[in-house]
């Protein structure tokens, strides 16, 4: 069975991964292993969270699963390194795991390219300075950001407690007429259960952190499953 290991920081919305595994009918194994640090959305803390040492620890935890690929399931803990640093980060993770590797930040840019998206709106839960680093990361991939919102939520734990209707409101309330899609970049936010609802409300694709992370991991192992439950990306 194809197996993708996800390294997830602390605890918030990791139940999106077994949710997806169930939607795929058990055809793929999507184990989650945790690394621990502060869950503060602040640059110094995020740089520590995504450090080579911590990700090597996550890779070691996944050894028992014998994954075919590993993904650092954290957007802010990857884009905070900027483009070149994030590339170095996943290269070092791949070396530590002995497997192909990626991160949620690259999952967003790869998913956008897959769907041919060049103009997007960003609906971020982060404080503004962190959200702006995500915008800069997307711009480095040639993606135009026509609107960016920041909810200013300081910790991943707080994001993980958002009710489904709050997640929908965040996305719908921060769309822009010129945007071809809306991007929601926090893996601490539960989105898989509402992505179709958001797309129906907006009439356009929505890319969410856990959604693209799962897609990216399966892409790394050469699998592109279809699902009617996980948005345009999986259809």
pTM of the shown model: 0.95
Strand order in the sheet with 206-208: 144-150, 119-124, 181-184, 206-208
How does the average pLDDT of the chain come out, rounded?
A: 94
- Per-residue confidence band for 158, with pLDDT thresholds at 50, 70 and 90: confident
Q: How far apart are CA 202 and CA 86, in angstroms?
A: 31
pLDDT tens, position by position, 15-46: 999 999 999 999 999 999 999 887 667 888 88
Write out the residue limits of the CATH 3.40.50.12500 domain(s) in the chain: 4-105+211-234, 107-208
- Per-residue confidence band for 155, with pLDDT thresholds at 50, 70 and 90: low
Fold of 4-105+211-234: Rossmann fold (3.40.50)
pLDDT tens, position by position, 49-81: 899 999 999 999 999 999 999 999 999 999 999
Q: What is the pLDDT of residue 229?
A: 95
Q: How far apart are CA 191 and CA 156, in angstroms?
A: 14
Task: Decide: 175 and 183 in contact? Cβ < 8 Å.
Answer: no
Task: Say which residue the tokens 């958001």 belong to.
Answer: 198
DSSP state of 28: S
Q: Which class for 14: exposed (0-12), middle (13-18), buried (19 or more C-beta within 10 A)?
A: buried
Task: Say which residue the tokens 């911590």 belong to.
Answer: 54
pLDDT tens, position by position, 168-198: 999 999 999 999 999 999 999 999 999 999 9
> CB count, 10 Å around CB of 118?
13
Q: How far apart are CA 17 and CA 15, in angstroms?
A: 5
pLDDT value at 152 more than 70: yes
Helix (H) or strand (E) holding 70, with range, is strand 69-72
The better pLDDT of the pair 29, 156 is held by: 29
Percent of the chain topping pLDDT 70? 97
CATH architecture of 107-208: 3-Layer(aba) Sandwich (3.40)
Q: What is the pLDDT of residue 154?
A: 61
């Amino acid at each position: 069975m194809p197996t993708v290991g996800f390294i997830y920081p602390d605890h918030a919305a990791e139940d999106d991964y077994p949710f997806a595994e169930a939607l795929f009918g058990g055809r793929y194994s999507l184990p989650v292993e945790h690394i621990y640090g502060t869950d503060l959305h602040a640059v110094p803390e995020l740089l520590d969270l995504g450090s080579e040492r911590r990700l090597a620890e996550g890779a070691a935890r996944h050894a028992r699963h014998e994954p075919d690929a590993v993904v650092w399931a954290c957007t802010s803990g990857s884009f905070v390194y900027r483009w070149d640093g994030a590339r170095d980060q996943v290269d070092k993770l791949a070396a530590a795991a002995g497997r192909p590797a990626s991160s949620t930040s690259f999952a967003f840019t790869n998913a956008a390219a897959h769907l041919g998206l060049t103009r997007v709106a960003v609906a971020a839960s982060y404080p503004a300075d962190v959200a702006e680093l995500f915008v800069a990361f997307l711009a480095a991939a040639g993606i135009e950001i026509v609107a960016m919102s920041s909810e200013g939520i300081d910790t991943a734990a707080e994001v993980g407690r958002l009710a489904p209707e709050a997640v929908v409101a965040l996305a719908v309330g921060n769309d822009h007429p010129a945007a071809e899609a809306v991007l929601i970049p926090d893996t601490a936010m539960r989105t898989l259960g509402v992505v179709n609802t958001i797309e129906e409300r907006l009439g356009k694709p929505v890319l969410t952190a856990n959604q693209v992370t799962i897609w990216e991991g399966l892409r790394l192992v050469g699998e592109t499953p279809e699902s009617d439950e996980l948005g345009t990306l999986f259809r």
